[in-house]
Amino acid sequence: MNTLTGTGKLVRLILRRDRLLMPLWILFIGVVPISYASTFATLYPTAAARQQFASISAPNATFVALYGRLYGSSLGELVTWRAGFIPVIIGLISLLTVIRHTRVEEESGRRELIGSTVAGRNAGLAAALIATFGADLVLAALLALVMMGQHLPAAGSLSLGLEFAAAGWVFAAIGGVAAQLTDGAGGARGIGISVLGAAYLLRVGGDLSAQSGGAFSWLSWLSPIGWVQRIRPYGGDRWPIVVLVAGMSAVIAAAAFAVSARRDVGAGLLPTRPGPDSAAPYLRTPLALAWRLHRGLLASWTAGLAVVGVVLGGVANGIGNLLQGNRSLEDLFTRMGGRSGIINAYLAGMMSLLALLAAAYAIQATLRLRSEETSGRAEPVLATAVGRLQWASSHLVFSILGSAAVLLGAGLTTGLTYGLASGHPGRELLRVLGAAMVQVPAVWVLAAVAVALVGLLPRFAVASWGALALCLLFGLVGAALQLSHWLLDISPFSHIPKVPGAAVSVTPLLRLLAIAVALGVGGLIGLRNRDIPIT
């Protein structure tokens, strides 16, 4: 088949280009379930305790929505259930990987370069699918070994691994189809993520219906996420479903090849909608341009975090219920302030998680300045009557106000869902909203770090992500690793009052604001005085 000539070489190229990214996500997802296994084993050491936990958790609608249905109470089944959202994440990564190595390549023109060499016309798609299928399979093997290392049954561990891999396969293939449809990678990602979102929602609808004995449980069978969860690792290990999903992936992949054969290089199956032939009257300032460039990113982050907020808020009340009947846990939590204390601690923890995500948005928005510069799009703007500071601030509006808006939205949905579940919507909404907004200064410090780097050390602007990674590391494992206090204090998030629950003191917030302003002003001075572009 000469349309596939050169596939092997392209697979190697993909593996080389992803030599860091691929091992990282495989390793990360492969080891996360360890923490679930050890947590369940520690908190619920006996079969009776697990049975009780299962009987409380299984009917909890929020858990069903987030993780899926809980079918049994063995340790393996609990871990599988708790890891119920991971197939969605693997699906997302696989989808994006395939699009990145197909449509993005084509859009950037690199595909043409490769197409003009000896590579066959389907080689690019085949290589992307093979590399992604393979990565999913490696993840399955790693996970199976890791779970066996936690003394879980071998067959169940293997089928859990294959559940994860199968989710990746289906969505890799769907990514392959999406990449054929539009001529822009953004559109292809949108289609793929919509399919993933629909699959997740169908699974939620079907499972919730099944839980309450409803008539719509078949909805889950329309969803690839629903299929893979019905493999039921450690609780029956239904291998035929693995075969079914693998076959389904092959059919979808074949469809991608069929579509690919019907279109030109660079074109998509769906026509591109033309834009306006002249600009709307508002498009006359750098801020208006920035709005056009940032609005999609801002909208998706706001919507994404709002959805996360719904889930986090919905789970909050359930966290309190989990205490019932477990003596040792109840004692532990009484020391932490009882039922309301544990919910407060949970909410405070989730707010700093949301703040880290908002900071990721703030950094991404700030680095737009840098990508505008390196791509050459800043130059024509700066060659007009637009000053550098005006140009920079039009983008920074989004990293500053945009990140606050993202947090506000997440705080609103968390507060609203928790408030409705707890029966005090008004009071809880205000409390949670306050807890979200108190994070803003720390988010701004990270945005300001990015501004400082862009202005003063532009070639190292990407290091902003390193700053975020440090904060994430300290926040998640700092206390567990017993890092020294001054080290933990580097993270701006460790200075945020632990609300709701703790008292709010203004001093650390003002201090963080001062640091943010100093870093930001320093960066802007640097930007005003340096050469543009520095590439």
**Token representation of residue 315:** 């789970």
Three-state secondary structure readout of 238-274 = CHHHHHHHHHHHHHHHHHHHHHHHCCCCCCCCCCCCC
Q: Which residues contact 295 (CB under 8 A, 6 or more apart)?
A: none
Residue 328 binds another protein, judged by CB under 8 A: no
- Given candidates 20, 46, 277, 485, which one binds another protein under the rule CB under 8 A? 277
* x-marked contacts with another protein along 100-139 as a string, rule CB under 8 A: -------x--------------------------------
Residue 274 binds another protein, judged by CB under 8 A: yes
Smallest distance, another protein to C-beta of residue 292, A:
7
Alpha-carbon span 301 to 322, nearest angstrom: 31
Task: Tell me phi and psi for residue 143, to 5 degrees.
Answer: -65, -40
Task: Count other Cβ atoms within 10 Å, centred on residue 454.
Answer: 26
Q: Which amino acid is at 404?
A: A
- Given candidates 213, 240, 276, 426, which one binds another protein under the rule CB under 8 A? 276
Q: Which residues contact 90 (CB under 8 A, 6 or more apart)?
A: 29, 136, 139, 164, 165, 167, 168, 171
Smallest distance, another protein to C-beta of residue 258, A:
24
**Nearer Cβ to another protein, position 331 or 379?**
379
Smallest distance, another protein to C-beta of residue 198, A:
24
Q: What is the DSSP string of 428-474?
A: HHHHHHHHHHTTHHHHHHHHHHHHHHHHH-GGGTTHHHHHHHHHHHH
Smallest distance, another protein to C-beta of residue 191, A:
16
- Which 476-535 positions form the footprint of another protein (CB under 8 A)? 529, 531-533
Alpha-carbon span 92 to 305, nearest angstrom: 16
In angstroms, the first-to-last Cα distance of the chain is 43
Residue 240 binds another protein, judged by CB under 8 A: no
Alpha-carbon span 200 to 27, nearest angstrom: 24
- Given candidates 42, 278, 482, 484, which one binds another protein under the rule CB under 8 A? 278
CB 299 within 8 A of CB 366: no
- Which 254-273 positions form the footprint of another protein (CB under 8 A)? 272
**Nearer Cβ to another protein, position 31 or 265?**
265
Which span sits near another protein by CB under 8 A: 211-219, 286-294, 402-410, 512-520?
286-294
Smallest distance, another protein to C-beta of residue 528, A:
11
Alpha-carbon span 137 to 90, nearest angstrom: 12
- Given candidates 9, 121, 377, 498, which one binds another protein under the rule CB under 8 A? 377
* x-marked contacts with another protein along 380-409 as a string, rule CB under 8 A: xxxxxxxx----------------------
Task: Provide the 8-state DSSP code for 386.
Answer: -
Smallest distance, another protein to C-beta of residue 106, A:
12
- Which 171-230 positions form the footprint of another protein (CB under 8 A)? 183-184, 186
Smallest distance, another protein to C-beta of residue 189, A:
13
Q: Which positions lie near another protein, rule CB under 8 A?
A: 107, 183-184, 186, 272, 274-280, 283-286, 288-289, 292-293, 296, 375-377, 379-387, 529, 531-533
